[in-house]
Amino acid sequence: MNANSTIIFPASLSIGDTWAFDMAAGDYSAAAWTATMTFASGAIRVANVATLKLGTFYWLIPASETSQLPAGSVAYTITVDNSLTLERYTLQNGLIKTTPNLSDPNTQIGTATMAQQQLAACDATLLKLLSQRTESVTFGQKAYTLWDIAKLWQIRNGLAQAVNDEEAALDANSRQQIIIPVFKNSWGGPTSPYQYT
């Protein structure tokens, strides 16, 4: 990665990988400044102090530290601190997306798409209403009663169609096309698929 004034993170970072980043130190290249990159989610914090070389901060976050973070959205911040003046500045912060470590046998991998999760939630909501365990339910920040079940059923059918469309798209990726070679003879007309000219 080239030295930049800001770090452009990839679309996702894999938990359990070693992460390496660099950033131009600019005005903070004096020896009194230290730069820290912190990743956090809930009570989990992973902080790493950069090394400074030729006006560039370098971070190398080992796999043993990244494996502590959860998959999903993780907050990050990059700060600089001056040990002489006690100044502290935040240079960059935001959220990154992390993906699970597939090589870890203890990792539980959820493979349901967003549409599949929404369909399951809608089905559970409909079941509560149809079993008459409750008089009204809430789905998608709207309240429904037994009289409104047709509206909720319409939403459910739309979600089911979205799930079917996803599955059809994935099925198309697994289909194999059978290609039969057709050879042409010297005058350009087709011959038997198995006859060479």
CATH class of 13-99: mainly beta
**DSSP string computed for 104-118:** -TT-------HHHHH
Does pLDDT of 3 surpass 50?
no
Q: What is the pTM of this model?
A: 0.55
Can you give the pLDDT at residue 43? 92
Residue 72 sits at the vertex; the CA angle it makes with 68 and 77, to the nearest 5 degrees, is 70
Q: pLDDT class for 68, splitting at 50, 70, 90?
A: very high
Q: What is the pLDDT of residues 135-171, one digit of tens each?
A: 777 777 777 776 777 887 888 888 888 888 887 776 6
Does pLDDT of 179 surpass 90?
no
Domain boundaries, the chain: 13-99, 114-168
Does pLDDT of 67 surpass 80?
yes
